[in-house]
Structure 1
Amino acid sequence: MVSQMDNITAQMEATTLQTEDSPKSTISDLKSNNPLWWRIHVFTYDLRHYRERPDSLDRLETIVDISYLSTPYFNESEVTRLKSTLLSTGKTLEETIEQTLHERLNRRLKKRQESNDYRVCAAHDLAPIFEKAFDLDHKQLARDVEFLKLVDENGLDGGEAWTGLATKPICGPKAQPGKKRRNNNRKKTRQPN
C-alpha cells in the first residue's frame, strides 16, 4: 500500500525536475494561443464526460503521463509550458496537480484498503483541478452549443474556428424548474393581465 503511494510520488517528482527551469506562463498567455486554449477546454470537457462520449474516452485512454497532460491533447513543449504555468495561487499547475492528487490519494488509503483500488477518477479528482486552475465552469462548457458542435465535428482540431465560450448564458438547454410549492396559509390572489 505505502509502496504504491511512494511510486506515484516518485513519478510526480521526476516530472517536476523536468519543468523547474522552464519559463513561467500565465493563464493570459495560454488564452492568447487559441488552438491551445481550445484543447485545454476539450481536455477538461473530456475529463467530465468520458462516460457519455466514446470520443472523449478514446482520447483519454491514450494518455500515459501521471499528470494527464500529454498527447493527444498537448505536445511535449505544450506540456512543459502548461506544467510551469503560474496560477492565481502563486503555485505552478504542476505543483497544484501534485499537491491535490497527493492529498486525495492519502484520503483514499483508508477507504480503498480492502479493494487495492487507488486509481484517480478523471471526473471527480482531475477535472476539478484543471477547471479551477483555468477558471472554467464545467456546466457552462457542457451547455455551450457552439463548443459542443465543434467538438462533435472536429475533436481537438476545432480551435481555429472557435471564438470562445458564450459570454451570456445562451447555451444549450437548462434544467426545467419544478413546481413551486405554495404556502397554503397565504391568500391566493390573481394578478390582472
Structure 2
Amino acid sequence: MTEILPIKSKMPNANKMNLAMGQAPASTSPKLTTSSINTDPVLGYKIRVLVLDFLKEAKNPDAQQRINSITEANYISGPYFDQEQAKQVREATVNVDLPINLTAPTQVNYEGGENEDSDLRVRIIGLTVEKAIKTVMNGFLDKRRASGDARPCGPHDLDPIYAALFGVRLSELQSDNFLSRLRRSGV
C-alpha cells in the first residue's frame, strides 16, 4: 500500500481550513444576490447613491456630473463602483420579483396568456443583474444603439428597475442619515 505524504504549502491557515471543510478559499468571494447587495453597507450605499442621482440629476450638479461621467451602458461603473464592485453587482443573482410589465410579445423570458397584446410579466429571478436588465430592456437597447448612444436613460429607464431589483425605497433616499453620509463622504 502506498503511503500518501502531506503536501507542505504556503497557503494561509484560513484557506487550508476552508479547503478541508469543502469551502472555497477566502480569496474568492461568494456570489451575491440583489437582496444581499441591498443590505451590504458599501454596495447598498453606492446603489442608493446611483438611484438618488438618477432622481436628482436635473436639479443637482454633483449628481449630473457623476451620471455624465459614466460610459458603461447600464451605469454600473465608476464613479459609483470600482472595477471589482461593478463586477460583483453585474454578476449578482436576482432574487426578487420585478414588478414591471412589458407589452412586447417578442420577449425571451415572459409569461403571456393567449392574448399577445396583454401585459407580459418578465421572469428574471435567478438571472444575473446584467442579464436581467438586458431581458427587461430587450429591444429598447437596440434602438438606443442605432441612435448612437447605447445607454438607456438612467432617470427614466433604469431608476425604477434598479430601485425594484435592489429594494431601494424613496424614504431611504430622503432620510437624514443617508443624505448626511452622502454630503460627508460622497460616493
Matches within 5 A, 1:41-190: 41-88=48-95, 89-105=125-141, 120-137=152-169, 139-156=170-187
**1:152, distance to aligned residue in structure 2 (A):** 2.3
Q: 1:34 to 1:150 in 2, by over 3 A?
A: same
Distance 1:117 1:31 in 2: 33
CA contact (8 A) 2:58 2:64 kept: yes
RMSD (CA atoms): 2.5
Q: Report how far residue 142 of structure 1 moved.
A: 3.9
Tell me, in whole angstroms, the C-alpha distance in 1 between the residues paired with 2:58 and 2:132: 26
Deviations 1:58-83 (A, max 9, x none): 11111111121101111111111111
Change in Cα spacing, 1:140 to 1:32, as seen in structure 2 (3 Å) is closer
How far apart are the structure 1 equivalents of 2:138 and 2:167? 22
Partner Cα distance (1:33, 1:76) in 2: 17
Q: Are the counterparts in 1 of residues 93 and 129 from structure 2 also a CA contact under 8 Å?
A: yes
Q: What residue ranges of structure 1 are gaps of 5+ in the alignment? A: 1-21, 157-193
Classify 1:132/1:148 alpha carbon distance in 2 versus 1 (closer, same or farther; 3 Å). same
Structure with the higher fraction of residues in helix conformation: 1
TM-score normalized by the length of structure 2: 0.59
Deviations 1:17-40 (A, max 9, x none): xxxxx9631134424531222111
Cα distance change on mapping 1:126 and 1:31 into 2, 3 Å: closer
Q: What percentage of residue pairs aligned between the two structures are identical?
A: 27
**Mapped contact 2:73–2:152 kept (Cα < 8 A):** no
Q: How many correspondences in the alignment?
A: 128
Q: Could you say if the C-alpha distance between residues 140 and 154 of structure 1 is closer, same or farther in structure 2, counting changes exceeding 3 Å? A: same
4+ residue runs over 3 A deviation: 103-106, 116-119
- Segments of 5+ residues of structure 2 without an aligned counterpart are 1-28, 96-124
Higher relative contact order structure (alpha carbons within 8 Å, sequence separation ≥ 6): 1
- Provide closer, same or farther for how the CA distance between residues 105 and 41 of structure 1 changes in structure 2, counting only shifts above 3 A: same
Residue 85 of structure 1 and its aligned partner are, at CA, apart by 0.7
* Deviation of 1:105 (Å): 4.2
Q: Which amino acid aligns with 1:126?
A: L
